[in-house]
Chains A and B, each alone.
Chain A
Amino acid sequence: MSDKKYAVEINDLAVEFRTDDGIVKALNGLDLKIEEGKTLGLVGETGAGKTTTGLAILRLVPSPPGVIVGGSIKLNGEDIFSKTEHEMQALRGKAVSMIFQDPMTSLNPVMTVEEQIAEVIELHEDVNHKGAIEKAKEMLEMVGIPGERGTEYPHQFSGGMKQRVVIAIALACSPSLLIADEPTTALDVTIQAQVLEMMKELKVKYNTSMLMITHDLGIVAEICDTVSVIYGGRVVEHGSLDDVFNNTRHPYTEGLFRSLPNLDNRSEKLKPIKGLMPDPTNLPEGCTFYPRCDYAMEICKTVKPKKVYRNDEHYVECHLYDENNVKVGGLIGK
């Protein structure tokens, strides 16, 4: 385990949003690791803290109201919380890039597309403006947009093309880590497939590690090596794609799969997870999932569950399991 190199390691990260209406605990001791060259899928409902995790790695959690209250983030082995703002600027766009959810609003409407790509190149690479524009056009070609369209403005592009531009910006300086925050949610289904396919190819080409933030388990199955399931600002289950998909342990992960339609057995009824995400200003004392959990026990109300490992990688945070029964096959052991 120790000889593995990680593109990013997050330990016990806690982030709060302090608003007029109370303190929102967005992340509560989140752990996350991505091995170099690998892709991790961060899966969870809207509001679970997925985007906050991505922004925290860039140290761009909006402040105020966001405050990082604890934990550490290491990027390529270096602690980013001890860096100055200036050092962070040198990392953003170079060591780590982020693709945002909504391509319609992610591009500056009054700058030409090539200027926006060239900007990141000029900031991080030793080229003049002309060279940067040149490379920006190459990047455009690479994401499948004719280079001469670079002088156009974002409003002249379709949604799918805008997302390609956003991806070109993110990949322009070959970052070692790419954070993709639901990169296809805002796109049409056919465009989604194209964009995903392109990201897969580019990832291999540049040997980029990737954090794929999504609520779409289909995307995870297609593109990810490992999966972290996030609920109430904590990773409740983590493992390889095979571990999490085929040896599901956490009741929440199970609930996510059950709310998907099954193509093989279409008469089966969907079972959505009952209830709602807990109020983030007032999280339950014990396991954050217990109010919605079909297997909730008395202990779940008051005691936070600890990690239980099934193998080196796969762990679950749930009172249903201990070291012994977690390795036993089958679904929930009850």
Chain B
Amino acid sequence: MWKFIAKRLVSMIPVLLGVTLIIYLIMSMAPGDPAKVILGEQATPEQIAELREEMGLNDPVLVQYGRYISGLVRGDMGESYNSGLPCQVEIFARFPNTLRLATVAVTISVILALPLGVLAAVKQNTLFDGISMVIALIGISMPVFWLGLLLILAFSLNLGWFPSSGSEGLRSMVLPAITLGFNHMASIARITRSSMLEVIRQDYIRTARAKGVSEKNVITKHALKNALIPTITVVGLQIGAMLGGSVMTESVFAWPGIGRLMVQSINKRDIPMVLGCVIMFSVSFSIINLIVDILYGFVDPRIKSQYK
């Protein structure tokens, strides 16, 4: 097992290098001279040339990337064009908020979605199955930000139960967490149901029944673990979509995470800050995928034994 984890960790390094390179290249295509942005309109051409030299902007882009990466591994994300402060200060201050919101949303949606999907599959073609799958279908079809607006309208403006913005206390987390988690819950419930239905038809389920295993144990002991294998993959992939969703959610609820910071920085054309935020998101996603892969190894012995 340790070998498996180590191998996955090592294979993450080139991916992370590739990810940062692509994002760096994309962001360096931004029009406009950073030196001009920093110095403002009144700067003389000499001042701009001097700053360009100082910032290394005349070097080839790959050299600049190399410099960025060597800074990044030391925790240095460059200076914000806007505040002049190191980007990592603001990003690290805000990241825990994003993490907190996403963790709550993932946890609750998984806890709700698994039983829902399993029950819907076991009670296939009943009213329960029908209603849960209609809700799930609506869940995957609803834009995150619209759900957020509707929740604010209903529970904040009309009923006044929860605040519509901010991040103080548990109550302020309720609406953003539902907004972010609903879509996630819906897709997990759908995949759980369909993989359960697939598994229930397998021969080994018939073998279990022929052994005299009770229907409850057939589902919980035999079917569920097998059905979890495709579900885990989807949960992992969904978290990528969820990180995108957290940008919307944080904007709707003025949640002080890095998603909102990123949108604000885009509007201010603060390229290093945007770069830092996208990299932060992508690195988190890679780490989540690593965790998912390891979980996968635990659930599916066929994967584990490849690495023994």
Interface residues of A (CB under 8 A from B): 58, 60, 85-86, 89-94, 97-98, 100, 102, 105-111, 119-120, 123-124, 153, 155-156, 166, 169
Residue among A102, A110, A153, A166 with max Cβ neighbours from chain B (10 Å): A110
A97 B226 Cβ-Cβ under 8 A: no
- B206 in contact (CB, < 8 A): yes
Nearest Cβ distance between residue A179 and chain B, in whole angstroms? 9
| Cβ-closest chain A residue relative to B224 | A110
Which of B3-11, B50-58, B211-219, B267-275 forms contacts with chain A? B211-219
Q: CB distance A169 to B299 under 8 Å?
A: no
Cβ of B198 within 8 Å of any chain A Cβ, yes or no, is: no
Q: Which residues of B contact A102 (CB under 8 A)?
A: 203
Contact A105 B305 (CB under 8 A): no
Residues of chain A within 8 A (CB-CB) of B302 are 109, 153, 155
Sample of 7 more A-B contacts, CB < 8 Å, known A94-B212, A119-B211: A60-B206, A86-B214, A108-B204, A108-B207, A110-B301, A120-B211, A169-B211
Q: How far apart are the CA atoms of A100 and B208 in the complex, in Å?
A: 11
Is B67 an interface residue, CB under 8 A from the partner? no
B177 CB to nearest chain A CB (Å): 32
A67 to B229, CA, bound (A): 32
| Bitwise interface map of B from 204 to 236 toward A, beta carbon under 8 Å scored 1, else 0 | 101111111111000000100110010000000
Q: Are A110 and B299 in contact (CB under 8 A)?
A: yes
Assess whether B300 is interfacial by the CB under 8 Å rule. Answer: yes
Q: A110-B299, A110-B300 are in contact. Are A105 and B210 (CB under 8 A)?
A: no
User: Given contacts A89-B212, A97-B210, A124-B212, is CB(A106)–CB(B305) below 8 Å?
Assistant: no
CB distance from A114 to the nearest CB of B (A): 13
On whether A92 and B212 interact (CB within 8 A), knowing A105-B202, A108-B222, the answer reads: yes
Looking across the interface, which residue of chain B has its beta carbon closest to that of A120? Answer: B211
A106 touches B212 (CB 8 A): no
* 26 A–B contacts, CB within 8 A, in A order: A58-B210, A60-B209, A89-B213, A91-B212, A93-B210, A100-B203, A100-B210, A108-B204, A108-B226, A109-B226, A109-B300, A109-B302, A110-B226, A110-B229, A110-B299, A111-B222, A111-B225, A119-B208, A120-B211, A123-B213, A153-B301, A153-B302, A153-B305, A155-B305, A166-B207, A169-B211
Q: A115 — nearest CB in chain B belongs to which residue?
A: B221
Q: Which residues of A contact B229 (CB under 8 A)?
A: 110
Number of B residues with CB within 8 Å of any CB on chain A: 22
B83 nearest CB across to chain A (Å):
53
Please give, as numbers and ranges, the residues of chain B lying within 8 Å of A153 by CB-CB distance.
Answer: 301-302, 305
Q: Is the CB–CB distance between A120 and B212 below 8 Å?
A: yes
Q: Specify which chain B residues have a CB less than 8 angstroms from the CB of A85 in the assembled complex.
A: 215
Whole-angstrom distance between the alpha carbons of A94 and B215 in the complex?
17
Report whether over half of chain B's contact residues are helix, strand or loop; otherwise say mixed: helix
Cβ contact within 8 Å between A155 and B301: yes
A90 cross-chain contacts in B, Cβ below 8 A: 212
Residues from chain B with a CB closer than 8 A to the CB of A106 are 203-204, 206-207
Interface flags for B283-308 (1: CB within 8 Å of A; 0: not) read 00000000000000001111001000
Docked CA distance A85–B208 (Å):
15
Of residues A90, A119, A124, A169, which shows the largest number of chain B Cβ atoms within 10 Å of its Cβ? A119
Q: How far is the CA of A77 from the CA of B202 in the complex (A)?
A: 32
Inter-chain contacts of B305 with A (CB < 8 A): 153, 155-156
**A100/B207 contact (C-beta < 8 A), A93-B212, A153-B305 known:** yes
Q: Which residues of B contact A108 (CB under 8 A)?
A: 204, 207-208, 222, 226
Give the nearest-CB partner of A108 in chain B: B204
In the bound complex, what is the Cα–Cα distance between A131 and B50 (angstroms)? 82
Q: How far is the CB of B275 from chain A (nearest CB, A)?
A: 43
Given contacts A155-B301, A155-B302, A155-B305, contact A109 B204 (CB under 8 A): yes
Q: B223: nearest residue on chain A (CB-CB)?
A: A108
Q: Which residues of A contact B209 (CB under 8 A)?
A: 58, 60, 92
Q: Tell whether A107 pairs with B226 under 8 Å between CB atoms, given A90-B212, A91-B212, A153-B302.
A: no
Smallest CB separation, A276 vs chain B (Å)? 26
Interface centre among B202, B207, B213 (most CB of A within 10 A): B207
Top 4 A-B pairs ranked by shortest CB distance? A92-B212, A93-B212, A105-B203, A93-B211
Complex CA distance for A138 and B88, rounded to whole angstroms: 62
Q: Are A110 and B225 in contact (CB under 8 A)?
A: yes
Q: Do A107 and B213 have beta carbons less than 8 Å apart?
A: no
CA distance A153 to B297 in the complex (A): 14
Determine the distance from Cα of A156 to Cα of B304 in the docked complex, in whole angstroms: 12
A231 vs chain B, min Cβ distance (A): 25
**Residues B213 and A169 in contact, CB atoms below 8 Å apart:** no
B206: which of A86, A100, A124 is its contact (CB, 8 Å)? A100
Determine the chain B residues whose CB is within 8 A of the CB of A60 once the complex forms. 206, 209-210
Type the 1/0 row for B37-62, where 1 means its CB is closer than 8 Å to any CB of A.
00000000000000000000000000
The residue in chain A whose Cβ has the minimal distance to the Cβ of B225 is: A110
A153–B303 CA distance with the chains assembled, in angstroms: 11
Among candidates B204, B210, B299, B300, residue contacting A92 with C-beta atoms closer than 8 Å: B210
Distance in angstroms from A241 CB to nearest chain B CB is 28
The distance in angstroms between the C-alpha atoms of A58 and B202, with both chains bound, is: 17
Measured between beta carbons, the chain A residues less than 8 angstroms from B211 are 92-93, 97, 119-120, 123, 169
In the complex, what residue of chain A is closest to B202 when comparing beta carbons?
A105
List CB contacts (< 8 Å) of B211-266 with chain A: 211-215, 222, 225-226, 229
Question: How far apart are the CA atoms of A173 and B202 in the complex, in Å?
Answer: 24
Q: How far is the CB of B59 from chain A (nearest CB, A)?
A: 53
Q: Residues of A contacting B202 with CB < 8 Å?
A: 105
